[in-house]
Amino acid sequence: MRNVPSASSVDLSSLPVLLMLSSRAVVTLFHRVRSQVAAAVQPPRLVMQSVMHYV
């Protein structure tokens, strides 16, 4: 029973580091995916603009 609180305190102390690492990884992944999506969405948007211009 006495070992459980010490283990939980260790987990809590290591939690912020894990959060920082995971948030950084998520941010880099988000930027990478957003750039890929923007590159993929750009040509169809131009095509739609030209079609709407002719229509």
Q: What is the pLDDT of residue 40?
A: 81
What is the DSSP secondary structure assignment for residue 55, as one 8-state letter? -
**What values do phi and psi take at 46, rounded to 5?**
-65, -40
Sign of CA dihedral 34, 36, 39, 44: negative
Q: What's the CA gap between 15 and 12, in Å, rounded?
A: 5
Q: Which residue has the higher pLDDT, 55 or 9?
A: 55
pLDDT tens by residue, 11-51: 677 888 888 889 999 999 999 998 888 888 777 777 888 88
